[in-house]
Structure 1
Amino acid sequence: MSQWLTLFQKELLEMWRNFKWIWVPITFILLGVSEPLTSYYLPQIIDSLGDLPKGAVVEIPLPTAPEVLIQGLSQYTTIGVLIIVLSTMGIIAAERKSGVAAMILVKPVSYFSFVTAKWAGGLLLLWLSLFIGYFATWYYTGILFDWVPIGEFFQSYLLYGLWLTIVLTLTVFFSAALLTPGIAGFISLTVVFVFTIVTGALSNWIEWSPSQLTNYANEVLMSSGVPEDTLPASLLSIASITILLWFSVVIFRKKELAN
């Protein structure tokens, strides 16, 4: 356990040196704040641009508070996913390529501790950044529109966080399997994109799909209730994360032993 904690602390320090503890939360905050501010001030923004006929009045109905939160969360399924992949794609591949991983593993360090400590560091950064960014969305939505119950905020936060954890774990898997961070990131984005498209097209048949968690989070905000398929989708997501993490360790161990 002490070995794992040492590796975990090393990963947290490495992320601090790479400024991930600064730019990732700040980016999530900017994503979170932009949606309620844009939705509220959109008529004024359009009016300030000019080029409107004389006497024209811009009347855009304001969205409801849950709709603003849903629009804010949608930022994390697009730009947020990209940020996660970019910040994680070299988490193992970069150290393998530079030889740092080999230097660490020469010591009595288990492959399981090495991979899971890095995954846990990325996980902590992800959940903290998502919470700060989404809390900013919730706060400004409450100030400018109306307050969404805090219980619904946390329920939707957990569901989105679980989906983004799959994205993170998938990126760690390809980072462990491949030597080039760029290729690992590209394949991760491609897999997430294809999986999301297929799930959206076949949503009536694969309601337990992990990517459905984003839709269930939206339904929590709109209907103030948890959809019945949320639990099976969540359990399947946890199982997928566990399997991907296990394969990450196995593949990383085979790659290093082969070298």
Structure 2
Amino acid sequence: MQWITLFQKELLENWRNYKWIWVPLAIVLIASMDPITSYYLPQIMEAVGGMPEGASFELPDFQPSDVVMMSISQISSLGVLIIVLMSMGTIAGERKSGVSELILVKPVSYNNYITAKWAGLLVLVWASLFLGMLSSWYYVNILFGVLSFISILKVVFFYGLWLSLVATVSIFYNTLFKTPGLVAFLSIATIMLSSLITKIFGQRFEWSPNNISIYIKEMLVTGSVSADLLATALITIGIIAVLLIGSIFTYKTKELAN
């Protein structure tokens, strides 16, 4: 009962901060941008002008899977940045303002407090991702060819795990520091560092969460979920669990120390 109350508080707080409006809208725009611009780019170039007389601009024939991965690529950069920025004060902001102390003065467990914050953030992230990929799927089917709805649901599920990891990294740093800007910096730095390590030691980190987009692309092309994708998904879930437990432990330790 206590957890549900805290969870509802998070959902309401996100609504009052207009996160339920601007975050989904931003993700929808990001996900829809590439399908539309890729299809109409020749016309845009022709309208803008500046090309030599007689020259033509032709794009390769994109497959629906290619265009979906363009949307994923945009979310991997701009979308991740949005998630980090909108979550950087989830706990750090309350710690800095003293709100968390007022909440925890009551008989509220640290487990419930952290996990409710985390779950509230994930609901917003997953809802935004679903709407974004739904808009991408709509334009892909109209402009590039048929892609089944089941395929896009699989994309949302597996890629949602990666965004959940990003959100959990942010929550973890929220429990360590009271400065939202520092939380955002360290979250982005951690994501970039993990990507760099994966690229350098690719053969040893085949199931790194950073590779999940590669296996999603294979899934769209082959139509089947590979063992590599399942293994990467399980490892991602495991890392999320470790970070969440670590968040509870570090926050409890810091609060008791104070």
- Which amino acid in structure 1 is aligned with residue 46 of structure 2? D
Deviation at 1:149, TM superposition (A): 1.9
Q: Aligned equivalents of 1:221 and 1:75: distance in 2?
A: 17
Residue in structure 1 matched with residue 84 of structure 2 by the alignment: 85
Q: Aligned equivalents of 1:241 and 1:108: distance in 2?
A: 27
Residue in structure 2 matched with residue 183 of structure 1 by the alignment: 182
* TM-score normalised to structure 1 length: 0.97
Residue in structure 2 matched with residue 48 of structure 1 by the alignment: 47
Output one character per residue of 1:103-155: Cα deviation in whole Å (capped at 9) or x when no partner: 00000000110000000000000000000001100111001110112222122
Q: Aligned equivalents of 2:53 and 2:114: distance in 1?
A: 63
Task: Indicate the SS of the match to 1:229.
Answer: helix
Output one character per residue of 1:190-231: Cα deviation in whole Å (capped at 9) or x when no partner: 000110122123222211212211211111112222222122
Task: Indicate the SS of the match to 1:62.
Answer: coil
Moved more, 206-215 or 71-80: 206-215
Moved more, 59-68 or 31-40: 59-68
Output one character per residue of 1:51-82: Cα deviation in whole Å (capped at 9) or x when no partner: 22222222222311110111111111111110
Residue in structure 1 matched with residue 217 of structure 2 by the alignment: 218
Task: Indicate the SS of the match to 1:28.
Answer: helix
- Which amino acid in structure 2 is aligned with residue 29 of structure 1? V
Residue in structure 2 matched with residue 231 of structure 1 by the alignment: 230
Match status 1:14 vs 2:13: yes
Count the aligned residue pairs. 258
Residue in structure 1 matched with residue 257 of structure 2 by the alignment: 258
Deviation at 1:157, TM superposition (A): 1.5
Q: Aligned equivalents of 2:165 and 2:63: distance in 1?
A: 30
Q: Aligned equivalents of 1:147 and 1:204: distance in 2?
A: 34
Contact kept in structure 2, 1:94 and 1:180, CA below 8 Å:
yes
Regions of 4+ moved over 6 Å:
none
Q: What RMSD in Å do the two structures reach over aligned CA positions?
A: 1.1
Contact kept in structure 2, 1:40 and 1:62, CA below 8 Å:
no
* TM-score normalised to structure 2 length: 0.97
Contact kept in structure 2, 1:39 and 1:62, CA below 8 Å:
no
Task: Indicate the SS of the match to 2:227.
Answer: coil
Q: Aligned equivalents of 2:187 and 2:53: distance in 1?
A: 51
Residue in structure 1 matched with residue 69 of structure 2 by the alignment: 70
Gaps of 5+ in 1: none
Q: Aligned equivalents of 1:70 and 1:82: distance in 2?
A: 18
Q: Aligned equivalents of 2:195 and 2:242: distance in 1?
A: 19
Gaps of 5+ in 2: none
Task: Indicate the SS of the match to 2:178.
Answer: coil
Q: Aligned equivalents of 1:167 and 1:252: distance in 2?
A: 19
Give me the identity figure in percent. Answer: 46
Moved more, 198-207 or 213-222: 198-207
Contact kept in structure 2, 1:8 and 1:118, CA below 8 Å:
yes
Residue in structure 1 matched with residue 59 of structure 2 by the alignment: 60
* Cα distance, 1:170–1:131 mapped onto 2, change above 3 Å: same
Residue in structure 2 matched with residue 204 of structure 1 by the alignment: 203
Q: How does 1:166-177 map to 2 (within 5 A)?
A: 166-177=165-176
- Which amino acid in structure 2 is aligned with residue 256 of structure 1? E
- Which amino acid in structure 1 is aligned with residue 135 of structure 2? A
Moved more, 231-240 or 118-127: 231-240
Q: Aligned equivalents of 1:48 and 1:202: distance in 2?
A: 45
Residue in structure 2 matched with residue 140 of structure 1 by the alignment: 139
- Which amino acid in structure 2 is aligned with residue 167 of structure 1? V
